[in-house]
């Protein structure tokens, strides 16, 4: 059996193991160890399995992951996000479907701090959905808008997915953050536009609110939301101005979150303890997957599979390859979580991207956008199940999926724009990043 056959069997074995509910990091790592053993013998397999985790986890750049996670958990636990939805609701209530649009706007800002789509969906399912239902909104629109809004956490920087992609592809994380800004804002605007048009055509989806708010009350609500914009501006401003690197920004962000929470008097020992525990648990989960993916990448490289795939696609133009990759990501998104898809596919796709001279920064933003859509696609749209879990039996699962179907169409429109006009992504960082 030659190396290529072992590589193909390895991919099939990994997918079967994932289907059997074996954790994806373990599945990739175990398959890689056995595959390298089959190709090179036991000693190289043991040596590679010892060296890669040490080299990878010892990489200082990976420290950005736990630091950004800590920043998000502190911001959420210390209630730095309080008042976001109320403020957005007051300023947007005159729009058709204003509460749903307010969910999109406030989720986008929350996502900038948390960097987590699941955390964003979980938070706003308890804040925004009850308010919309109370106002007479259709359950499908109320739940669907919050599930879709949560996906903005994967794209709007700082994003853990973009950090991991940047480390795997050896591209600038700061350039990735800069490139993701306009697509992230565009995604939110497309969501809001779709909501507005639907509610104009079918007013029964979202009854108009007849509430009057004075400017004094509006200013009071704006003052309540100041911590989060200050935190995000401090982190992203420092990165883009070159004061500190994207890796250092994670620690700076965690420190700023603590400092702002102390100023507001909302940082307690309990809050900090829970944030540290949650950060450790999330970091451990991500790092196990990252180590498994690194071993899997080495296994595939030794099997020559990426070179073979590149040769098979050699006759195709870059646009066709991108369309095939989009289809692959959307299909995988129906069954796997975002970071798992990214780490499973990049080892194979990296050589294709470089071989076709596709801009790695542009592709990274597109890939994360596709992964966002996967968070709401049936049958395993993670954000949908988060909403369902938070709301209990009040809204059926089918109703939530019906609601997000419109947002999947909106995402498809955004993806077409990003593919057709790469300048949307590359304008801020420049073509060279």
Read off the pLDDT band of 195 (50, 70, 90). Answer: very high
In our burial notation (b when 16+ CB lie closer than 10 A, e otherwise), range 273-282 reads: eebeebbeeb
Residues 6+ positions from 401 with CB-CB distance below 8 Å = 378, 381, 384
Total number of domains constituting the chain? 1
**344-388: pLDDT as tens digits:** 788 888 888 887 888 999 999 999 999 888 888 887 677 887 788
Encoded tokens for 421: 């006009």
In-domain check, residue 291: yes
**14 domain residue, yes or no:** no
> CA–CA separation, 16 vs 14, rounded Å?
5
Q: Considering the domain boundaries, does residue 35 fall inside one?
A: no
Under DSSP, is residue 199 helix (H, G, I), strand (E, B) or coil?
helix
pTM above 0.75, yes or no: yes
Q: Taking a C-beta distance cutoff of 8 angstroms, is the pair 293, 31 a contact? A: no
- pLDDT digits 0-9 by tens, 235-282: 888 888 888 887 788 888 889 989 988 988 888 889 899 989 988 888
Domain, as residue range, for 138: 62-426
Instruction: Say whether pLDDT at 81 is over 90.
Output: no
> Residue 333 CA to chain centroid, in angstroms?
12
* N-to-C CA span, the chain: 42
Q: Give the confidence band of 328 by pLDDT, cuts at 50, 70, 90.
A: confident
How many CB atoms are closer than 10 A to CB 212? 6
Is 47 domain-assigned? no
Question: With contact defined as beta carbons under 8 Å apart, do 142 and 100 qualify?
Answer: yes
In a domain, 351, yes or no: yes
Residue 19 inside a domain? The answer is no
3-state helix, strand, coil in the chain (%, to 5): 80, 0, 20
Please report, rounded to a whole number, the percentage of residues in the chain having pLDDT higher than 90.
Answer: 17
* Residue in this structure with the two tokens 């800069």, named with its chain if needed: 178
Give the rounded distance of the alpha carbon of 4 from its chain centre.
Answer: 33
Asked, for residue 305, whether it belongs to a domain, the answer is: yes
CB 136 within 8 A of CB 207: yes
| CA pair distance 257, 112, nearest whole angstrom | 13
Confidence at 433, pLDDT banded by 50, 70, 90: low
DSSP line for 174-229: HHHHHHHHHHHHHHHHHHHHHHHHHHHH-GGGSPPP-----HHHHHHHHHHTTHHH
Task: Let me know: does 311 contact 43? Beta carbons within 8 Å.
Answer: no
Query: Above 70 in pLDDT, residue 209?
Result: no
Q: What pLDDT score does 412 carry? A: 93
Asked if residue 21 belongs to a domain, the reply is no
What's the chain's length in residues?
433
Residues 372/411, Cβ–Cβ less than 8 Å:
yes
Q: How far apart are CA 385 and CA 194, in angstroms?
A: 23
């Amino acid at each position: 059996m030659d190396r290529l056959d072992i590589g193909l069997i390895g991919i099939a074995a990994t997918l079967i193991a994932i289907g059997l509910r074996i954790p994806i990091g373990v599945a990739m790592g175990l398959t890689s160890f056995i595959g390298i053993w089959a190709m090179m013998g036991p000693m190289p397999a043991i040596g590679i399995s010892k060296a890669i985790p040490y080299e990878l986890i010892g990489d200082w750049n990976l420290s950005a992951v736990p630091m950004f996670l800590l920043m998000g958990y502190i911001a959420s636990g210390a209630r730095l996000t309080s008042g976001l939805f109320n403020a957005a609701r007051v300023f947007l209530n005159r729009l058709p479907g204003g509460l749903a649009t307010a969910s999109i706007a406030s989720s986008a800002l929350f996502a900038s701090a948390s960097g987590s789509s699941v955390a964003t969906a979980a938070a706003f399912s308890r804040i925004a959905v009850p308010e919309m239902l109370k106002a007479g909104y259709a359950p499908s629109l109320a739940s669907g808008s919050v599930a879709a809004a949560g996906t903005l956490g994967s794209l709007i920087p700082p994003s853990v997915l973009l950090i991991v992609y940047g480390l795997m592809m050896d591209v600038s994380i700061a350039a990735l953050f800069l490139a993701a800004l306009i697509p992230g804002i565009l995604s939110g605007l497309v969501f809001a536009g779709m909501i507005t048009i639907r509610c104009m055509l079918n007013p029964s989806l979202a009854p108009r609110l007849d509430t009057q708010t004075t400017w004094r009350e509006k200013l009071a609500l704006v003052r309540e939301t100041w911590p989060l914009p200050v935190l995000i501006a401090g982190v992203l401003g420092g990165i883009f101005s070159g004061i500190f690197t994207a890796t250092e920004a994670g620690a700076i962000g965690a420190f700023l979150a603590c400092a702002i929470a102390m100023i507001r008097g909302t940082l307690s020992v309990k809050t900090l303890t829970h944030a540290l525990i949650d950060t450790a648990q999330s970091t451990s989960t991500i790092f196990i997957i990252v180590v498994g993916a690194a071993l899997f990448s080495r296994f595939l490289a030794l099997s020559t599979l990426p070179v073979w795939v590149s040769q098979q696609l050699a006759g195709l133009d870059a646009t066709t390859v991108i369309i095939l990759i989009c289809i692959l990501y959307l299909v995988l998104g129906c069954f796997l979580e975002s970071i798992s898809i990214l780490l499973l596919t990049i080892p194979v796709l990296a050589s294709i991207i470089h071989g076709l001279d596709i801009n790695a920064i542009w592709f990274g933003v597109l890939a994360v956008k596709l992964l966002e859509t996967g968070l709401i696609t049936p049958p395993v749209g993670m954000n949908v199940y988060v909403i369902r879990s938070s709301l209990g039996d009040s809204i059926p699962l089918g109703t939530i999926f019906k609601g997000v179907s419109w947002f999947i169409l909106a995402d498809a429109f955004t993806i077409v724009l990003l593919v057709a006009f790469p300048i949307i992504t590359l304008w801020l960082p420049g073509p060279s990043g």
